[in-house]
Each structure stands twice: as C-alpha cells, then as structure tokens.
A and B are shown apart, each in its own frame.
Chain A
Amino acid sequence: MAMKNRLAKLYHSRKFYFVLAALVIVALLPLVIGRDYIISEVLTPIIIFAIYASSWNLLAYSGQGSLGHAAFLGIGGFVSALIARSSGFPPLAALLVGSLFSALIGFFIGLTCVRLKAWFLAMVTFGFSVIIGTLFSQFDAVTQAVQGFPTPLIAPRGLPFFYMSFAIAAVSILSIYLVMKSKMGLAFKAIRENELEAKMIGINTAKYRLLAFVLSTFFAGLAGGLYAQSIRYIQLEIFSPYHSFQPLMMSVIGGLSTIEGPIMGSAIIVLIDSYLYGVDPFLQTSLGPLFPAVSNVGPYLRYLGIGLFLIVVVIFAPRGVTSFFHRLYNFIRTRLKGTTPEPRKEPKPSLTTRMRSFIRRQFRGAKPK
C-alpha cells in the first residue's frame, strides 16, 4: 500500500518527468550516435556499471563500505555464464539464478560482517574477494575459471544487448531508489549516521545491515552477469581488486548516497577508461618522450588522472560531481522564476556541534571525540 502511494506521488512530481526525459534521451542516444564501437564498448558498459555502482552505493547507504564487491560481480558473472552454457537454460533465467546465488553468498558474508565497522569491514570484504577468487581458480574443473570461456549471449551484441541492459538497469535502479526511500532505507540511513542511536530507537541493526548486504549483492551479481556477456569472454580477471575499487570510485565521484551519483560516476569512469582510449596516441606523441620508461603512456596517465580526480572530489566536493548539477538546476530555476532563492533550511546546530566546528576551525584537523 505504502509502495503504491509512493509510486502515485512519484507520478505527480516534477522528478518523474525529469527521469522520464532522461530515460528517453538515453534510449535514443545509441540511435543518434549509431557507431558500433561506441554502443557496445562505451554506452553498454556505462549502463552495466551504473547497476554495479548503484548496488555498492546501496550498501554504503547503510554505512557499510565494501572493498570486495568484485567477489559478487565475479560470482554473478561466472554462475550465470556457467548455467547458461552447460544446461541450455534460457540465459535470462540464468542471469537471475546467478544474481540469486550472489545474494546467497552475500548473505553468508554479510553474516560475518554485521558486527564489523569501517576499515575492519573494508579489510574483511577485500579478504573475501581474494578467497572467492582463489576458490574459483582452485575448483577449475567446475568453473573453468583459469582458462576462461566465451559467455553465451542473451541478446545479439550491439543495439539489442544495449536495450536489454538498459531495461534491466532501469528496473534495478528504480528498485534501489524505492528501497532507499522506504522505511528500510530510513533504517539504513539511521544506521549509517549513528549505529548506537539507531539501536536505541529500536532498529534491529543486524537485520537491516544484513538486508542491505543481500540486496546489494543481488544487484552486484546481476551487473556481473551482464558484464560477463558484454566482455564476451569471462576470466578470473573479474575478481581483480580493480573491479572492487571501481564502484567505490564511481559512487564517490558521482555523489555518495544519491541515486544519480553512481550513474554519473559510471559514465565518467567508463568514458575515461574506454572512450578516451582514442586520446592515447596523442598522449604518446606529446608526452611520451618525457617518460621513456614505458612504451605507451596513455593508460597510465588516464589512471593517474582518475586517482587525482577522486582525491580532488573528496577534498573539494565531498557530495560528488552531481552536487554541481543540483546547484546549476536551482540557479536556473530561480532565474526563470525571477524570485530570490529560498534560504535552505538547515537544522540549527546544537551548542556542542558549533563548538566542535569552532574547535576544528581553530586547530585545523584536531579530531574532536
């Protein structure tokens, strides 16, 4: 019932039309661009990684930062590809089974993580991704992970696969949005802000943290299944730490704990990663002589750029790149309406908060307890 009300409210809001416009634009994008390389190497990955980053973001929404999400990307990818390959299962159903399996493993890993905080959690999740990668390579007879194998396709590459990923992504991200806005999402938020206080209010923190884990790993597995298809050939490489850091970078650069942040971040990172590939020859001819030690400076310079970008965003725009768009939108709106912007209602800080920020300003970084 509550869900229905929320949908009804969504239908009448400005946001709804905004989202609809965005969906239409994204759906038309490949038709406008029309180049095969761009569709299957840039646009499709952006969509798939938007699911992946959103799944990570949902977990972070409940205050749990994972450094091992590649485990679930890999489980989803391998399980769905293996099932689809061996039994002639319809690949779409295999995708679902892969995600469910990923959520199941996520449940057990989540069980071990519910009591852990901040960087202990980061360590343990990272450890699990290494362990799961090792298990997959150890049981090579079943998984064929060491050699890798070509993944069976749900839809032909190019436009059909793009639209299928697009539909799945739209449904997934809408579900994540609804979860965030539901009572469950409120519990996640309370846990993120202050776990002890959340417990005192009466939130079963262990249950909700576990729920966040299961939901997040489900969508990560889904993204993994699609990713395995988009790269055509699945290998152990899917478990690499790079894939664990990816959703984190995307969410942080785009804007943590927002729904549009991970999507924006995914677009930015994939563009730097795949689209700017074309810049490499230029970088090599212009900057290559400066670095004689490497034969192709392009990729390294691009990754260096990603790292710098991440640091700059965290320091100067902790709410991500999308916060600029929000500001721009508000600016334009007030200009069009010709009214002065309403001052943003901020909760009056209590004396201790004010004192804290005062002390922090005075001593620059001495961390208040």
Chain B
Amino acid sequence: MFTLSGLAETLLWGVATGCIYILLATGLNIIFGVMKLVNFAHGELLVIGAFIAYTSSTVAGMNAYVSILVAIVAVALIGIAVERLTFRKVLGTEKLNEIFVSLGLIYVLQNAAVLVWGEKSKQIVSPVQSLSLPLGDISVRYDLISAVIIVAAILIFLMLFMKKTKMGLAMRATSQKSDASMLMGINIERVYIFTFALGAALAGAAGALFGILFPFNYLSGGLPTIKAFAIIILGGLGSIRGAVVGGLLYGIAEETAGFFLGGIWKDAIAFALLIAVLIVRPTGIFGEKGE
C-alpha cells in the first residue's frame, strides 16, 4: 500500500542500512586502496563483530553502545591475525589468489562463528530499544538516530586521521605507489598490518551497529560484503567521501526498490544498478585506469 509516511519510513531505513554499508565499504576501500587487496571475507568480520558485541552486552552485561568498542578492538585483533597468517603469504603473487584465499576465509570464519555462537538469529538489546522519536506521521527509533551519529563520528575521525597523522600520511603514500614509499623509508609491512586492522575495526563497528538495528545470524555477512563492493565501485576507489555518497544512495535505492517492487527485488535491483554502471564505465565511476 502506497503511503507517504510509508515511503518516508522506507527512506529512513535506507539511510540506516546505508550507514552500515558505508562503514563496511570504507574499511574495504582502505584495505583495497593501500594493499590492493580484495577481501571478500570482510562481511564475516562484520558478523563476528556483531556476535562479539552481542556476547559482551548480554553475557557480560555491558551497555550495547559500549560493546561497540569491544567489537572494534576484538575484530581489529582478528584482522591482524588474518592478515599475518593468510593474505601476507599470497600478497604479490597472482591476483586471483587473494580472491581464493578470501573465499576460503569466508568458510572458515562463518563456520567458526556458528560453532561458537550457534545457528539462531540474535539481536543486541540496546537500552533505548523500544523508544522512538515521534515526527509527525512516522516515528524514528532512537537507535537509528544514534547509529547515524556514531557512523558520522567514526568517519570524521577517520578523515582527520588520514589527513593529520603520520600513519595516515604513510597510508596515503603507500596507496599511491608502494615501491616509491618504501624507498622513502616507510615501513610498508607495518602500514599493511595497520591498514588491515583498521579496515577490520570498521567492519567490527559496522557489525555491532548492525546487531543493534537488525536481527542477525551467522549467514548475515555475505550480501553486505558484495554490496560494499558495489558501493566502492559506485563511489570511487580510495575516496571516503565517495563511499559515503555511494553508501547512502545504495541503501536508499535498495529499500525503495523493495518498497515499490516487493522484497525479493531488493538485491537484484542493486546489482542491476551496479552492472549498468560497469557496462558504461568498466573501471567504476571514479575508477582509475590500470587496476
């Protein structure tokens, strides 16, 4: 049934899912920009982040929003382990090897998650779960508002970090030309570890927010990963601002397509958009030549 308030609510949910996609896409984008590495298992890090936040909020009795920090730290550590043990070994070999390794990681992380946390869907209980802000015909959940604020804060922090700190500078240099920055005395090894940890931390934050807004289970990571890739392609490689615009557009397009055409079209429309863009521009909207 078409109503204006229904549409407004759809758009709001589009913004919310968009926010989570933005965090995931930004993490992937940083990893891809600096390491030229494609990590299809990024969404599994999101799921693990959500599970860790769930455990620390229900079992350890933490506030849901504090548990986001736990998820960030824990997933960053997992990220470091993953980078050291797997991707490090194939970096610089054939391009497809990274895709193969990340597919293997999907299986490993997904099944490890289900063995630890079980098959049932879960949702993180936040302190303001049932409260919402009435705005005319519609009401907005406080969780949704706080998620948007948290994502904005993380992104601003990230941009400042990339611009103002030495590590940020090293990362930007490495993403432009790794061998030249190596000759300039940048310890690429450390930059790589840090980059992967940062990308994983963003996935952890995205996971915790995802768990607060939506119910999730061990399979929830697959589609967000693919969508995050689509956002990177739409928004442009290496640009955080592009990921923000792309993520919001994508989230809204997806929810609106679901609203007008029915739920099963959600994913298909999003991919159709992506394919249409790639047919016209095979390296993405803002993509560079070469890669």
Contact = CB atoms under 8 A, between A and B. Distances in A.
Contacts of A309: 104
Contact of B107 (A116, A310, A359): A310
A123 B233 contact: yes
Contact of A366 (B93, B118, B182): B182
A112 B282 CA distance: 9
15 contacts: A112-B275, A116-B282, A118-B38, A119-B229, A120-B282, A124-B274, A131-B271, A134-B264, A137-B264, A241-B222, A293-B116, A300-B111, A307-B103, A308-B104, A369-B177
A300 B182 CA distance: 42
A245 B89 contact: no
B: contact size bracket: 35 or more
Nearest to A111: B279
B90 interface: yes
B227 to A, nearest CB: 10
Contacts of B233: 120, 123
A19 B92 CA distance: 36
B283 A363 contact: no
B179 A315 contact: no
Nearest to A241: B222
A6 interface: no
Given A112-B275, A364-B88, 15 more contacts: A119-B229, A122-B38, A123-B274, A134-B267, A291-B116, A293-B115, A293-B118, A300-B114, A307-B103, A310-B100, A314-B101, A314-B104, A363-B182, A366-B182, A369-B177
Contacts of B118: 293-294
Interface string A59-103: 010000101000000000000000000000000000000000000
Contacts of A138: 264-265
Contact of B284 (A120, A249, A367): A120
B112 interface: yes
* B-side interface mostly: helix
Contacts of A117: 282
Contact of B275 (A124, A294, A318): A124
Contact of B274 (A127, A241, A304, A363): A127
A315 B99 contact: no
Given A112-B279, A303-B111, A368-B92, A134 B106 contact: no
Contacts of A311: 86, 101, 104-105, 108
Interface of A: 60, 65, 67, 112, 115-120, 122-124, 126-128, 130-131, 134-135, 137-138, 241, 245, 248-249, 252, 291, 293-294, 297, 300-301, 303-304, 306-311, 314-315, 318, 359-360, 363-369
B264 A300 contact: no
B43 to A, nearest CB: 12
B272 A131 contact: yes
In the A-B complex, the 4 residue pairs with the closest CB atoms: A307-B107, A293-B118, A127-B271, A310-B104
A293 B112 CA distance: 11
Contacts of A252: 100
A367 B96 contact: no
A364 B108 CA distance: 25
Interface in B230-277: 230, 233, 264-265, 267-268, 271-272, 274-275
Given A138-B264, A310-B100, A311-B86, A366 B115 contact: no
B95 interface: yes
Contacts of A241: 222
